[in-house]
């Protein structure tokens, strides 16, 4: 219903554009220069106002009326259920809504509950119909009014271009603001659950506890504070990230050095796109590669050497993640190595330094801040990477230093908690708390990296 309304408004917008344009053109007659603005802007102004009024009323009314319905339902609870606990009231209301919407509902607790629920569902249905019709008719009328007023307002001197440009500029600003809205959305969505989680669990138990199995010992939706120690996850993330960086940093850096200072243009023309392909491969493909090809290989060669290797070893996940990060490190390092001025290289060559001496003693030290920031960004990438570890690392929290054993990571646990069979409300707490931690780590790394790059830029510009 509401979606249909949205389509109607969209159609009205088109009508407004065409009608406005026509009317302006008719007004101008044979003297197009007599108009202050070109007809298209008159149409645009009318269309923008129609859409703006219609869609904003639709959204605001939907939100507000939804809240109103909830308040109304709560107020009209039958007297015999007024004694229910709040949590039970919430459930009653949501069950009633589900009945009204025709969704699947869990079995009623008792007979009283059922009658109350069904009565409430009737109320809800009435309110729902009222809401949908009310909103639909209201918004369409408002849009029509906007259309009509703007249409009437079209005359030769009206500054339609200026006013429609103002609206467009506002739209541009709002678009730019969506980035901020997204950030706020991320913070609030994570913080809400995280704060709820930490109201039950002291944060030090989470940050420094060494036992992780959040879904064991759940009592009435409250997790046991002794089973949510995230240290094994941090350790696992740290180990896999470390292995990845051991693979990615030397290879990525040396590849960047070779491609920028040694390789012939032909080699560069070949190797750079290949590295870009490596960067463009989806992580789920890396995950498949890690789980199906690399892990059995590592396990097999480990057994040939007489080592016991878990089939979901940290080594396999870390190694493949390293391959994934190679192009990241190499392209970022390439940029900073190329940014080192040629005059420094000339100065070194002029003193009779070889290429490798120039690179290791002059170019790389000069590019060091940029390289450090590339590595930090690489680490932040590795920490937040999900699919490779979900597919190739373990599920069980295991505190170990042995890269041949299975470890689990923060991201793996988030996925396991959210996609698992547990009731969403119980799993959300630890999952969002982990997500918040992850966000903090990556943001701090990113801030550091950007700060370093900014400082470095100032030095050469």
Partner 1 sequence: MDQTSHQSAKPGAPSVHRTSAAQGRLKKRYRIEAWFKACGMLAVGLACAALIWLLSSVVGKAVGGMTETYITLPVTFDKAEIDPKGSGDPKVIRGGNFSGLIKTSLRGAFPFIKKRRDKLALYKLTSNGAELELRHRAMNDPSIIGTTQTIRLLASDDVDLYVKGYEGELRTLAHSGTATPVGMSGNVKVRVDANAFQAALEKAKEELRRKADALRQQAQREERAIGVFEGRIKALPDDANPDLRSQYESRITAYKSRRDTLMRNAQEFEKRANTDGGRELLSPSLPSYFVFINGGVIKVETVSPNMIEGQALVPLSSEVPAGATDWQLKVNPTSESGRRIGDKQATWIEVLRANGKVETNFNWRFFTASDSREAETAGIWSSAAGSFWTMLITFFLSFPIGVAAAIYLEQFAPKNRITDFIEVNINNLAAVPSIVFGLLGLAVIIEFIGNDIFGEQLRSTALAGGIVLALMSLPTIIIASRAAIKAVPPSIKEAALGVGASNEQAVFHHVLPLAMPGILTGTIIAMAQALGETAPLLMIGMVAFITEVPTSPLDNASVLPVQIFRWSDFPERAFEMRTAAAILVLLVFLVIMNTIAVLLRKRFERRW
Partner 2 sequence: MNVVTEQEQIANTMIQAKQQSAETQYKIVSKNVDVFYGNKQALSGVTFNAHANEVTSLIGPSGCGKSTFLRCVNRMNDTIPICRVEGEIWIDGQDIHAPELDVVELRARVGMVFQKPNPFPKSIYENIAYGPRIHGLTKDKSELDELVTVCLKRAGLWGEVKDRLEEPGTGLSGGQQQRLCIARAIATQPDVILMDEPCSALDPIATARIEELMHELRENYTIMIVTHSMAQAQRVSQRTAFFHLGELVEYGETEQVFRNPTDERTESYISGRIG
Residues that bind partner 2 (CB under 8 A): 265, 341, 343-354, 357, 361-362, 365-366, 459
Taking CB under 8 A as the criterion, the residue among 92, 146, 377, 407 binding partner 1 is 377
- From the list partner 1, partner 2, none, partner contacted by residue 349 (C-beta under 5 to 8 A by kind): partner 2
Min dist. Cβ of residue 262 to partner 2 (A): 12
Binding at 418: pick from partner 2, partner 1, none (beta carbon under 5-8 Å per type): partner 1
Nearest to 298 by CA among 406, 397, 390, 385: 406
Alpha carbon distances (Å) from 36 to 129, 154, 156, 387: 47, 11, 6, 58
Q: Which does 203 bind (CB under 5 to 8 A by kind): partner 2, partner 1, none?
A: none
- Say how far residue 43 (Cα) sits from the centre of its chain: 37
The span from the CA of 227 to the CA of 205, in Å, is 9
Nearer to partner 2 among residue 133 and residue 262 (C-beta): 262
In the list 43, 327, 369, 378, the residue contacting partner 1 (rule: CB under 8 A) is 327
DSSP letters spanning 321-347:
HHHHHHHHHHHHHHHHHHHS-HHHHHH
Contact partner at residue 63 from partner 1, partner 2, none, CB < 5 to 8 Å by partner kind: partner 1
Task: Confirm or reject binding of residue 63 to partner 1 (CB under 8 A).
Answer: yes
Q: Cα(46)–Cα(147) distance, rounded to whole angstroms?
A: 6
Q: Whose Cβ is closer to partner 1: residue 150's or residue 333's?
A: 333
Least distance in angstroms from the C-beta of 336 to partner 1: 16
Per DSSP (E only), the strands in 129-177 are none
- Of partner 2, partner 1, none, which one sits near residue 343, judging by CB under 5 to 8 A according to partner kind? partner 2
Q: Which does 350 bind (CB under 5 to 8 A by kind): partner 1, partner 2, none?
A: partner 2
Choice between 149 and 297, CB closer to partner 1: 297
**Residues 251-280 contacting partner 1, CB under 8 A:** 251-255, 257-259, 262-263, 267, 271, 274-278, 280
Scored b (16 or more CB within 10 A) or e, 226-265 reads ebbbbbbbbbbbbbbbbbbbebbbebbbebbbebbeebee
In angstroms, give the least distance from the CB of 403 to partner 1: 19
Q: What residue has token string 């999900």?
A: 386
Our CB check for partner 1 shows the closer of 314 and 359 to be 359
Q: C-beta of 5: minimal distance to partner 1 in Å?
A: 11
HSE, side-chain direction, 13 A CA sphere, residue 308 = 2
Interacting partner of 280 out of partner 1, partner 2, none (Cβ under 5 to 8 A depending on kind): partner 1
Residues 176-235 interacting with partner 1 (rule: CB under 8 A): 176-180, 182-183, 185-186, 188-190, 192-193
Q: Does 91 bind partner 1 (CB under 8 A)?
A: no
> Which residues neighbour 449 within 8 Å (Cβ) at sequence distance 6 or greater?
372, 373, 374, 376, 377, 380
Contact between 169 and partner 1 per CB under 8 A: yes
Nearest distance, CB of residue 171 and partner 1, angstroms:
6
Query: What is the distance of C-alpha 336 from the center of its chain?
Result: 28
For residue 107, give both structure tokens.
């079995």
Choices 15-23, 142-150, 157-165, 203-211 (CB under 8 A): range interacting with partner 1: 157-165
Distance CA 306, CA 9 (A): 71
Q: In whole angstroms, how close is the CB of 355 to partner 2 at the nearest point?
A: 9
Classify residue 403 by its DSSP letter: T
Q: How far is CA 398 from CA 235, 303, 379, in A?
A: 9, 21, 22
76's contact among partner 1, partner 2, none, with CB below 5 to 8 A by partner kind, is none
Among 356, 361, 455, 460, binds partner 1 (CB under 8 A): 356
- Among 118, 123, 165, 225, indicate the residue that binds partner 1 (CB under 8 A): 165
Nearest one of 206, 183, 233 to 430, comparing CA atoms: 206
Q: Shortest gap between Cβ of 401 and partner 1 (angstroms)?
A: 25
| End-to-end Cα, the chain, rounded Å | 58
User: Is residue 321 near partner 1 by the rule CB under 8 A?
Assistant: no
Rounded least distance, CB 353 to partner 2, Å: 5
Taking CB under 8 A as the criterion, which residues in 389-408 touch partner 1? 390-391
C-alpha separations of 92 from 38, 68, 129, 263 in Å = 59, 17, 20, 71
Q: Name the strand (E) or helix (H) holding 200.
A: helix 160-200
């Amino acid at each position: 219903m509401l979606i249909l309304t949205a389509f109607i408004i969209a159609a009205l917008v088109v009508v407004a554009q065409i009608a406005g344009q026509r009317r302006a053109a008719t007004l101008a007659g044979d003297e197009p220069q007599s108009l202050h603005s070109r007809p298209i802007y008159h149409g645009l102004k009318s269309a923008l106002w129609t859409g703006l009024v219609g869609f904003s009323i639709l959204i605001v009314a939907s939100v507000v009326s939804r809240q109103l319905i909830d308040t109304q339902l709560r107020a009209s609870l039958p007297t015999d259920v007024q004694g229910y606990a709040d949590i039970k009231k919430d459930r009653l209301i949501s069950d009633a809504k589900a009945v009204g919407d025709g969704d699947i509902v869990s079995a009623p607790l008792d007979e009283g509950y059922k009658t109350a629920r069904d009565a409430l569902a009737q109320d809800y249905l009435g309110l729902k119909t009222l809401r949908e019709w009310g909103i639909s008719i209201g918004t369409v009328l408002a849009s029509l009014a906007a259309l009509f007023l703007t249409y009437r307002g079209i005359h030769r001197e009206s500054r339609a271009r200026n006013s429609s440009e103002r609206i467009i500029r506002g739209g541009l600003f709002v678009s730019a603001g969506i980035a901020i809205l997204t950030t706020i959305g991320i913070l609030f969505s994570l913080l809400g659950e995280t704060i709820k989680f930490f109201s039950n669990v002291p944060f030090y138990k989470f940050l420094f506890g060494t036992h992780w199995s959040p879904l064991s010992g759940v009592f009435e939706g409250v997790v046991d504070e002794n089973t949510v120690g995230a240290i094994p996850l941090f350790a696992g993330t740290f180990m896999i990230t470390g292995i990845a960086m051991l693979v990615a940093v030397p290879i990525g850096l040396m590849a960047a050095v070779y491609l920028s200072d040694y390789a012939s243009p032909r080699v560069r023309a070949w190797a750079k796109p290949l590295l870009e392909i490596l960067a463009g491969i989806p992580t789920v493909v890396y995950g498949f590669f890690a789980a199906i090809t690399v892990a059995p290989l590592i396990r097999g060669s480990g057994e040939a050497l007489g080592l016991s290797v878990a089939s979901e070893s940290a080594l396999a996940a870390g190694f493949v993640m390293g391959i994934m990060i190679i192009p990241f490190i190499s392209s970022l390092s390439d940029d900073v190595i190329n940014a080192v001025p040629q005059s420094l290289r000339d100065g070194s060559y002029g003193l009779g330094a070889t290429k490798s001496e120039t690179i290791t003693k002059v170019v790389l030290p000069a590019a060091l801040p940029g390289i450090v920031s590339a590595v930090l960004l690489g680490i932040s990438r590795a920490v937040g990477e999900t699919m490779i570890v979900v597919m190739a690392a373990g599920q069980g929290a295991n505190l170990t230093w042995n890269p041949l054993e299975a470890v689990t990571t923060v991201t793996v646990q988030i996925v396991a908690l959210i996609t698992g069979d547990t009731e969403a409300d119980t799993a959300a707490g630890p999952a969002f708390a982990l997500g918040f931690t992850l966000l903090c780590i990556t943001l701090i790394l990113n801030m550091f990296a950007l700060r370093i790059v900014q400082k470095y830029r100032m030095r050469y510009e």
